[in-house]
Structures are given as C-alpha cells and as structure tokens.
Structure 1
Amino acid sequence: MILAKTIGSVVQRYQTDGHSPYLMLDEDLDKIILKPKNSINDTISLQKEYLCSLLLDCWNIKTPNVYLCNIDNDLYDKISTEDIRFRYSEFYFGCHFIENQFELNRLFSFSGKVPLRNFQNIESIIYIALFDIWIENDDRKPTNNNLLCSIENNKFELYAIDHAFTFASLPFNSLSDEYLSFSDNDSILYSEVGISIVKSLNINEDWISHLKEYFYLCIDNVRQNINEIFNNIPEYFSILEQDRDTIKRYLFSELRIEEVFNTLLYIINDIRK
C-alpha cells in the first residue's frame, strides 16, 4: 500500500531538464523528493512513476519508497505562487530521499576494480538494464543514468529512480506489443561503470541461462500481481481499465519478451567484443 504524506516545508528545488523535483520535509520532518505535474495534462508521467516503482519491486530491484503527497495549506499558498505547476493537481508524486547517496558516475571518477568489489550486488546494473529494455526507458542512459548509489553497511547499493519517460515516452493507448523500440546505444550498460562491470563478469552459457531464468521469473511475478499493482496505484492517479489491458499486452507479449532478452545479450556482446 502506498502511504499518503503531507508536505510542510521546502528544502530546495533541483533544476533539471525533466520535472525539476523538490526536496521537501513532511510533517514528521522526513525528507521527501516531490514531483508535480509539468502541465495540466501531464498525469501520465506520474502514473508511470508509481507503476514502475511497483514493477521494480516485483523484480527485486531497489527503488525508493513512493508516496502520495499533498501540500500543507500554508505552504501551498506560497509555493503555488512561485511555481504554477502546483496548481495543476491536488496531489503529487513523492518518494523517500535516500541518505548517503551520490550519482553513480561520480563513483567512477576513480575507476578500477576496487569500487567493483564494493558493490553489494555487482550484477544489479544488469538487471536494471534488462528492466529498462522491457519498459523501454528513454531516460536512463550513459549521460543521464538516473541511478543513485548509496553506501549501506560499507557496500554500494544501486537505486533506480526517475521513470516518467518510460513505456517509450508514449501514451498507454499507443503502446505496441508487436515490436521493441528501445535504442541500444542508450543502455546504462554503455556508461563507464556499466562497461567496467560487464567486462568484469564471467559471462558464459550458465550465466546467460541464470539471467534468462531470472528474467522469466520476474515476468511471471509481475503477471501474477499485475492487477494488484494497478490497484495499489493511488486512486487520484489510477490508470484507466482500457489502458491496463494495453499495458498487459505490452508487458507480457512473448514476442517482445524474447526481443528484450536478445537485445540485452546484443549489448553485452557488443561491449565485450
């Protein structure tokens, strides 16, 4: 169940090319990253944020906890004057702020094998890359990795964030289950850290077999829970029934699933050649 949060104060705004989110404090002084709609018709980007967070849980990929946020009345009067986006809706997408974090690319400003040994699960970036192909993430790429690296128990943990531009950046009713439009060159595996990890792994037939098993188990897990996933999205951002059917066909198309896995293998082989 996605919890509701009331936001009481602003810490700072992050200027980005996308949603320019805010770091805020809720009534318990917990840090929340908050995203308003970018336009009056931008509901789908926040629907995708909630949907992908729940899908990532089924894949056992770390992502910050998400919340349904509203703004305290006193704060709303001030912030909606400074940023008109807060007038576009009554509720906003929020997620937990990850402490002890830094951008993944900063880790490899001192590249080498020592950082790789400090990953809690070095193959997590492979799983994230595979997930990105499956949901056709247009916004996680070598130049904009949308991954946070957190230090937990003296190990690096990766958190996947920012999923507004997934599902090929299309409306749900425009999705096709007949082909894959993911751009190979935009894979996170072509980042400096991705290349280093791929080249460090002992990739053989057994490794590929285990990865494929993981992939199909994740798909089955989503398939078994997809209705609950849709129902767990806050009602304010609920996905229409006809769009749910389109998403199901898109995610579970056997043709797409096979192409997704083959695309990942192509990227890995291209990096290792």
Structure 2
Amino acid sequence: MIEPLPYRRVISIQRKLDTIGSEPLHLICDDYESYYVKNDRQNSPAISIINEVLCHYFLRLWNINTPDICLINLEEETIRQDYGARHKPAFYSRPAFGSKEQEGAFDFTEFLQVKGKVDFRNYYRPEMFAHIGLFDLWVENEDRPPDLKNLMLYEEDERYHFLAIDHAMAFRTGAYNTLADRTFWATEDQYMLQSLFFKQLRRFLKLDKEWCRKEQENFYLCIEKCQRHFSDIVQLIPPEWGFFDETITVLYNYLFDEKRNETVYNEYVRMWK
C-alpha cells in the first residue's frame, strides 16, 4: 500500500539553511511539525523534487529509513523577507517539496569508525548501510559519496539507525535525456560503498554463498515491489511539475531493465571485495 502524499500549509518560516545546492527553508507547518522545503525554481520537469518523491517511495519499499515527506503550499504573503535566488515567491506558485525533520537526527561524518565489535553493535541492522549503498547504485545517485554526506543517524533503543536523505541528484543527476541508454554508468569514488566506514563495517558482515543468495534475492524483490507500485507512485506527483508520459516511460524502462540491474548487482558484489 502506497501512503498518500499530504499537503501542508506553512505557518512560519524559521530560517534558510546555508547548504550547497538547494538551500532549503526550515518551516513550521499546520500540523505544528518542522519541515525542510525545496522547490525547483520554475523548471519543467521539476527534476530535483520529482526525484525526491520517487526515491522516498522507493526507499520505503526497500525498507530503508527516510523522512516523511509532503507537498508544501507556501503562500506569497508568508515570504516576508528575501531568502535569496532559490526562494523567489514566484517559485512557490506551484506545490513545493517538504521533508519532515527527524527529531534527534544528526549528520553522519566520515570520522565515524567501526574499530571493533563494540562499535559494530552500536548500529541497528548495520547491513542497512550496504543496502542504502545498493539503492544508490540502482538509482545512480552520486550525491551520497564516500564522505557520507546526505546520510544521517538517529538514536532509538540505545542504537544508531541510518537515515537516507536528499535524492535530488538521482537518476544520473536528473539527466533524464540520458536514460534511454540503459547501461549502468559506474563512477569511481562517488558512492558511499567506497567509504572507509564501509571497508571497516564489512569485516563484521559474513560474505559467503548464503549471504550472496539472500542479498540477490532481496535486491530483486525490492525492484519487483518498486515496479509493481511504480504507476501508483507516479500518480502522486503534481501535474504542475511537468512529469509527462514520455519521460515516465523512459524512466520505467531504465529502472527495470534486467540487464542493467544484473550489472548493478554485480557492481555491488564487487564493492564488497
């Protein structure tokens, strides 16, 4: 069952985040929760926020933690000051993308290490780090590199849980015009599975024939779920974002191409060695 994509109205703008790229606004919405909002200026298709919605639902189908999302209605009179070139009032004439703030979450950093079993046990389901990495290979997301930006942690039941955020740059950095070529474009030194943390982590995960069988089975099961729900997910994207049938078909054929997915999985296995 695909959860609906709710609309939220903005009560107040708290601040702008001075990050490289989208520079999201930190908001309080009508459910009195905090959100980060992004727009794609007036681009059509609104590639970056389309990618955010698609990857959110795909990640949930992969059982990977990612924040709740919504569509944001930001009325012009709410923007009472200049928040820079990324946040002109005209950019909010259509729904924007909102990502709910995860309480207590903090940025993963490349300085976190797994030096022994005590460190390893601090993480809930540490294999999920690898699964996020496999997901990034599948959607060709190069914006979670070895320095592990766009990966967060939050603590629950005295263990750290992984939280995947920010997928605006998926699908070859949103270059939809390249997706008719369904080959997998492997890029060196651009993926989290090439990080020092993963090199340390994998020492404590048993890589044998049974593991390979289960990982491969899970990979294709996740893809099958995404394929089954693809049309339902696409229908949630606002028509104002310009995501039309021709592009949708190209993306579908790219994501569910059997030969490409075989290459993706083989690349994943290679990164374990």
TM-score relative to the length of structure 2: 0.90
CA distance in structure 2 between the aligned counterparts of 1:44 and 1:185, rounded to whole angstroms: 24
1:169 aligns with 2:173: yes
1:186 aligns with 2:190: yes
Q: Which amino acid aligns with 1:55?
A: F
Seen in structure 2, the aligned counterparts of structure 1 residues 193 and 122 have a Cα distance that, compared at 3 Å, is: same
CA distance in structure 1 between the aligned counterparts of 2:41 and 2:143, rounded to whole angstroms: 16
Seen in structure 2, the aligned counterparts of structure 1 residues 198 and 8 have a Cα distance that, compared at 3 Å, is: same
CA distance in structure 2 between the aligned counterparts of 1:112 and 1:93, rounded to whole angstroms: 40
CA drift at 1:73: 4.4
Runs ≥4 in structure 1, deviation > 4 angstroms? 38-42, 109-112
User: Match of 2:156?
Assistant: 152
User: Match of 1:257?
Assistant: 261
User: Match of 1:23?
Assistant: 26
More helix by share: 1
1:125 to 126, 129, 144: 129
Q: Which amino acid aligns with 2:64?
A: I
Seen in structure 2, the aligned counterparts of structure 1 residues 179 and 40 have a Cα distance that, compared at 3 Å, is: closer
Quick check: 1:107–1:115 contact (8 Å CA) kept in 2?
Answer: no
1:199 to 200, 203, 208: 203
5+ long unaligned stretches in structure 1: none
For each residue in 1:36-94, what CA deviation from the matched residue of structure 2 results, as whole angstroms up to 9, or x when unmatched? 22564571111111111111111111111111001144322x14x33343322422110
Quick check: 1:47–1:238 contact (8 Å CA) kept in 2?
Answer: no
TM-score relative to the length of structure 1: 0.90
Q: Which amino acid aligns with 1:207?
A: W
1:60 aligns with 2:99: no
Seen in structure 2, the aligned counterparts of structure 1 residues 39 and 231 have a Cα distance that, compared at 3 Å, is: closer
Seen in structure 2, the aligned counterparts of structure 1 residues 228 and 266 have a Cα distance that, compared at 3 Å, is: same
SS of residue matched to 2:7: strand
User: Match of 2:84?
Assistant: 83
1:4 to 7, 15, 21: 7
CA distance in structure 1 between the aligned counterparts of 2:263 and 2:37, rounded to whole angstroms: 35
SS of residue matched to 2:262: helix
Quick check: 1:11–1:24 contact (8 Å CA) kept in 2?
Answer: yes
5+ long unaligned stretches in structure 2: none
Quick check: 2:51–2:174 contact (8 Å CA) kept in 1?
Answer: no
Q: Which amino acid aligns with 2:201?
A: I
Seen in structure 2, the aligned counterparts of structure 1 residues 73 and 111 have a Cα distance that, compared at 3 Å, is: farther
CA distance in structure 2 between the aligned counterparts of 1:155 and 1:208, rounded to whole angstroms: 26
CA drift at 1:239: 1.9
SS of residue matched to 2:264: helix
SS of residue matched to 2:163: strand
The aligned runs of 1:67-146 (5 Å cut-off) are 67-76=70-79, 78-79=80-81, 81-84=82-85, 85-86=87-88, 87-90=90-93, 91-105=95-109, 108=112, 112-146=116-150
Seen in structure 2, the aligned counterparts of structure 1 residues 30 and 110 have a Cα distance that, compared at 3 Å, is: same
Bigger shift: 144-153 or 250-259?
144-153
Q: Which amino acid aligns with 1:230?
A: V
Quick check: 1:172–1:247 contact (8 Å CA) kept in 2?
Answer: yes
For each residue in 1:23-44, what CA deviation from the matched residue of structure 2 results, as whole angstroms up to 9, or x when unmatched? 2111232110111225645711
CA distance in structure 1 between the aligned counterparts of 2:83 and 2:170, rounded to whole angstroms: 29
CA drift at 1:14: 1.5
CA distance in structure 1 between the aligned counterparts of 2:115 and 2:44, rounded to whole angstroms: 43
Q: Which amino acid aligns with 1:183?
A: T
Q: Which amino acid aligns with 2:102?
A: I
CA distance in structure 1 between the aligned counterparts of 2:118 and 2:97, rounded to whole angstroms: 37
Bigger shift: 36-45 or 24-33?
36-45
Bigger shift: 168-177 or 223-232?
168-177
